[in-house]
Chains A and B, each alone.
Chain A
Amino acid sequence: MTWRIGVDIGGTFTDVAMIEEASGRIGIAKTPTTPDDFGRGVLNGLNEALAKYGLPAADVTLLSHATTVVTNALLENKGARIALVTTSGFRDVLELRRSARADLYDLFQDPPAVLVPRHRRLEVTERIGADGSVVVPLATTELAGLIDQLRAMEVESVAVSFLFSFQNSAHEKAVGEAIRAGLPGVSVFLSSEVLPEIREFERTSTTAVCAYVGPILDSYLRRLQAAANSLGLPDLMVMGSAGGVLDVPAALAMPAAAVESGPAAGVIAAQMIGKQMGQPNLLSFDMGGTTAKASLIDNGRVETTAEYEVGSSASQSRWLHGTGHPIRVPVIDLAEVSAGGGSIAWIDPAGALRVGPHSAGATPGPVCYGQGGTEPTITDVNMVLGYLDATSLLGGDLPIDYVAAEASIRTKVAEPLGQSVEQAASGIRAIVNNSMAEALRMVSVERGHDPREFSMVAFGGAGPLHACALAEELDVPEVIVPPIPGAFSALGLVGADIRRDYARTIYAPLEALTPEHLTAIWDDMAAEGRDMLAAANVPPERQVLLRQADLRYGRQAYELTVDAPEGPISVTTLQSLADGFHTAHERTYGHKNEAEPVHIVTLRLSAVGKLGQPHFAEATGDGNSQKAERPAWFASTGRVPTPVHDRARLAVGQVLQGPAIVESLDSTLVLQPGWQARVDDAGFLRLTRSQ
């Protein structure tokens, strides 16, 4: 019997999910996250998981990990000591940014952090023109002095980013070679290698992020890999933000691709169960303690975006510029809102009911946890409405102070509004549900998809508590509650394919390009991709190369990504790229213009190594599942006695009618009146409107 293991680090717990490859049986272990040294928590979790299931390490075929090391280093400004080398006249590119401020009216806002202080920004005389020609030759005589300066600065890594290096990388490469030769042991990241794409600030930012987190990721992954190997476990794979895993050398070549890997894993898990169930159109909804994240899977495909800012402390919105560090690597397209179990409800000075953006977080946490929280949170609301167990959570590990939760809602919200506690609580839920529905809307309706054609996969500790209400809000016909919702993201790790993404900027009208030109560029990326896959021991029959192009109307500034057809590139292929673009533009924005010339900005290639998807099977029981009954409050019924079921004892084919509550170790499902849940063959809960 062989197993795959996925490890996901969360704010409170490190989740270890295991799947037995032949049967699809799922195992889970949870250990506290160890923020001082994340690797320790990972090893604790691995040891506990192996012991709990009596599993010899030799039986593990895949060990996959979603790391928060990159994001944390950026959020806490604890990256490496780095320098930036630019074209003469442009050393301030990271500080000049795009010049917009993040908050329009905050008099006291701080400027975004710059990863390289000004005294470590160096310049070299050189200039490439817009067409790739050399305008000013590289002043090679300056390089010895440059290296002396870098040595004196005692930097751990260096980012090199010259203007138009995506058109002509010769100068960057020459400087890179000189630094590597002169300063062995210092890592060097070239913008033309990291991201050969137009837009100097975003490219430089991506390169600087790599340099900033590279050394930290390097030491973390190498230590963890050594420890895993010493337990007898296989080489580590690392989840990338685009939804594929990378081996350690590939991750270290592109550290920026390891951000947001936990949330990416959740979307991949949703995609996997969709594939297993034959439901290719899914909305994935992940709600935890502080944020809720929505993503869309269209016809089995996860959508990615290259517009992302990492290390942003501000609340997320779809119009965020100037809050974090932009990275232009493909990231799974997630809409994120600051809404979670810890979001705080309050009354503003004019007497209006508000929820968030403040969160009680992990500490002090909700009032009902009894750990010092005094402000009413969403978790407290779910408690007083009877949705959560009023005595304890986490299988008895977390005692609950129901009285304090009720009192805080009553005194801080209900009494000022002249409402009952239930009315106030349900109002708070309506507000937070609306803001989460907005996130789901952003990934669906806003991009031309009709939610009525999608099923929602609800996970995260709090996702199943709110799923029915959100489905009603968006008219989503079906909700799927997968196995181990609270640790679901870790499951995504065990089935993800190996994936690395490549891109080359072209920036030309489609009609000016020949099939040969595009073939040459895609072939070049394909060769790189195949080498990477071969190095990760993926046999040729499991290698898949996906080609895409970013297109736009000539005068636009934003592109849409379109798939290139398979097979050799021909004039017909070019036409089908243009057709695909017109169609995508109309779907996304409601209009198209076929007379307008289409431009290609970027060619993309994803190299995928298929690892084979396991089949999930949730353990089921004998159907004797009802363990209790408690009064729960619903808008349509008021407080009614509501049966509470133990998920582990539900039987395949069993049907529950709402209102009902289904509890599992780390998550609670609220089945609202008017809904029913059926346990399908794999043990997933399928929620639909009652007839």
Chain B
Amino acid sequence: MTDRTFDPATFEVVKNSLSKIAEEMKIVLAKTAYSPILKVAGDYSCGVFDVAGNMVAQGPDLPIHLGSMPDAVRAVVQVFHDDVADGDVFIHNDPYFGGSHLPDVNVVMPAFFQGELLGYTCVRAHWPDVGSATPGSYGAVTDIYGEGLRLPPVRLYRDHVIDRNIQAIIMANVRTPEERIGDLRAQVAANRRACQRLAALAEKHTAAGLKAIMAEVMDYAERMMRLMLADLPDGEASFEDFCDGDGILEDGETEDAIFWVRMTITKKGDTITVDFAGSDPKVAGPINAPLSVTASGVFTALKMVVDPNSLIPANSGTWRPITVTAPKGSVVNAEFPSPVVYANHEMSHRVCDMTFGALSQFMPNNVMACSQGTSAVVTFGGQDPRNGNRYVSYETIKGGTGARPGKDGINTIAAGISNTMNTPIEVLEMSFPLRVDYYAITAGSGGEGRWRGGCGAERAWTVLDHTSRATVCFERTRSAPFGICGGEAGAAAKIKLRLPDGRERALTSKGAFDAPAGSQVIIEAPGGGGYGASAERDPAARVRDAADGYVG
């Protein structure tokens, strides 16, 4: 039995230090990584975990990883539990065993103090390419084998030395391997920094003392969550919404078939149950979500509803009062070997927004309307005619956020589960054979309402002097972001290719295509939904919107 009574100040000091450790990991990664998606866009998360793989602290990272990061460390614990030593580093990305989708590569390191295992640190980072037929690994394929290199948990370093065999296998299977080596080194460096700090905490508080506080930090988060949940109204509500498609045209289809996600939320006292019964079964294309990805979307919305002032640290304890269930083999609980790559962000965006939609029925003052609801991924890949080098560019374009009770939505900013940054145009054009023709706020894209949804962004790229293999991964091209409490929907996303001769071709929401030299890829990210009846909007706000051209 560990002593779990702490001096209140010691507890607070160690709790703060644990989250600072996760924050410092983030700095080390951003400053040393090679690929723009990590160093510039910030598509990664860092965390500190206990010996069982429970998350004790997460950096100020992507909410998308809230629910799924613990599985990444638990998978390592499951495989190597009795065979973990100081100087080990583990790597894996299998969505069916601790991962989220193949591009998210988990690097896990055990932390030791005087030979005693303290816990683990993990850096999950989105690699811009993990193989497959399509640069960027975002092709519309029909099984996990088509999505790229799948790594079960394996030991990458022993005794602080990299295993050249494993490294060789990985690097032979990814495009731009020099870049990947740089990213991998950055992931290891970030973990190492965190493990050093954990050892220093153990030196001050003893290994047993530190581990006891780590357990208490999770219990504390659970207590806070239950207290704050109890203050919110009880109720039950259902919500359904359809997705644009899976990127695969089945026999006889002329356009990508939509499919449905359904949820029922029951809030009672200090618990919440979210059940996805009634959701459509798995689809052929890669938008089947592992349950932990689905749960991440739910957790993100609930964190914003229950704890908008961030009093509760995000860790495994925070989610104990919440139960997420979904029928096995449905689009929100993927079954091997369904492909998953799009679902990581597209399905978690979806269920995050749907959670707000359901809760708006009995706690309308604590929710927002639907936000852009897609990561709006655009990738380009090929050979740079300026220097002959292969390149992969990965960008996410931001739409608007949903309107809130008392406030308009925010224009062109990462919403919900996402918080990645854009790539500066000047950095993009220096790095890749592309030119951005415009990047602007789309007038009129925010949903009308007493409070207006945020506007989305519109952007166009011209492909320079070569044919680029491009992919898009969008949602909400057909299912426009919904308004709540009487508000109207925001504008749906639009994607098209304009060929050099001026002909335009509408593109489906997901999949790869060739963009020849001089062609233009044109997209509009969705606007956010409105809140409340449009007739109740403040006339002065309408005048301001018109003067500034935020409305049509």
Contact = CB atoms under 8 A, between A and B. Distances in A.
A441 B13 CA distance: 14
A430 to B, nearest CB: 4
B180 to A, nearest CB: 10
A96 B12 contact: no
Contact of A130 (B63, B366, B430, B548): B430
B304 to A, nearest CB: 5
A108 to B, nearest CB: 6
A354 B12 contact: yes
A104 B223 CA distance: 21
Contacts of A166: 426
Interface in B408-451: 410-415, 419-422, 424-427, 429-430, 435, 437-441
Contact of A119 (B7, B12, B415, B549): B549
Contacts of A427: 7-9, 12
Contacts of A591: 32, 185, 189
A353 B12 contact: yes
A428 B9 CA distance: 7
Interface in B16-74: 16-17, 20, 23-24, 26-28, 30-36, 39-40, 42, 59-60, 63
A105 B426 contact: no
Contacts of B368: 107
Contacts of B419: 100-101, 104
B16 A435 contact: yes
Contact of B228 (A100, A349, A585): A349
A353 B8 contact: yes
B406 interface: yes
B457 interface: yes
A315 to B, nearest CB: 11
Interface in B154-176: none
B549 A106 contact: no
B310 A199 contact: no
Contacts of A110: 407, 410
Interface string A583-595: 0010011110100
Nearest to A427: B9
Interface string A193-204: 000001111100
A435 B12 CA distance: 10
A350 B414 contact: no
Contact of B422 (A98, A106, A349): A98
Given A95-B441, A96-B441, A108-B406, A352 B8 contact: yes
A289 B425 CA distance: 41
Contacts of B441: 92, 95-96, 118
A350 B34 contact: no
B5 to A, nearest CB: 11
Contacts of B492: none
B259 interface: no
Interface in A110-147: 110-111, 117-119, 129-130, 135
- Interface size class on chain A is 35 or more
Contacts of B15: 352
B11 interface: yes
Contacts of B548: 117-119
B1 interface: no
A573 interface: no
Contact of A321 (B17, B193, B307, B421): B421
B529 to A, nearest CB: 14
B303 interface: yes
A95 B407 CA distance: 17
Interface string B105-142: 00000000000000000000000000000000000000
Contact of A95 (B228, B366, B412): B412
B227 interface: yes
A589 B430 contact: no
Given A104-B419, A317-B23, A352-B220, A89 B426 contact: no
B47 to A, nearest CB: 14
A106 B437 CA distance: 34
A588 B32 CA distance: 10
Contacts of A103: 310
Given A317-B60, A555-B35, A353 B9 contact: yes
A555 B179 contact: yes
A317 B26 CA distance: 12
A590 B220 CA distance: 34
Interface of B: 7-13, 15-17, 20, 23-24, 26-28, 30-36, 39-40, 42, 59-60, 63, 178-179, 182, 185, 189, 192-193, 220, 223-224, 227-228, 300, 303-305, 307-311, 366-368, 398, 404, 406-407, 410-415, 419-422, 424-427, 429-430, 435, 437-441, 457, 547-550
27 contacts: A90-B425, A90-B439, A92-B412, A99-B412, A100-B414, A100-B421, A104-B303, A105-B63, A105-B300, A105-B303, A106-B308, A107-B304, A107-B366, A108-B404, A119-B548, A119-B549, A163-B426, A352-B220, A419-B8, A427-B9, A430-B13, A431-B9, A434-B12, A556-B182, A557-B427, A558-B31, A558-B32
Report, nearest first, the 6 A-B pairs whose CB atoms are least far apart.
A89-B438, A427-B9, A557-B39, A555-B34, A118-B548, A130-B429
Given A97-B413, A585-B32, 14 more contacts: A90-B439, A92-B412, A96-B440, A100-B420, A108-B406, A110-B410, A129-B435, A200-B426, A318-B23, A319-B27, A352-B11, A353-B9, A417-B8, A557-B40
Interface of A: 88-93, 95-101, 103-111, 117-119, 129-130, 135, 163-164, 166, 198-202, 317-319, 321-322, 348-355, 417, 419, 426-428, 430-431, 434-435, 438, 446, 507, 553, 555-558, 585, 588-591, 593, 596
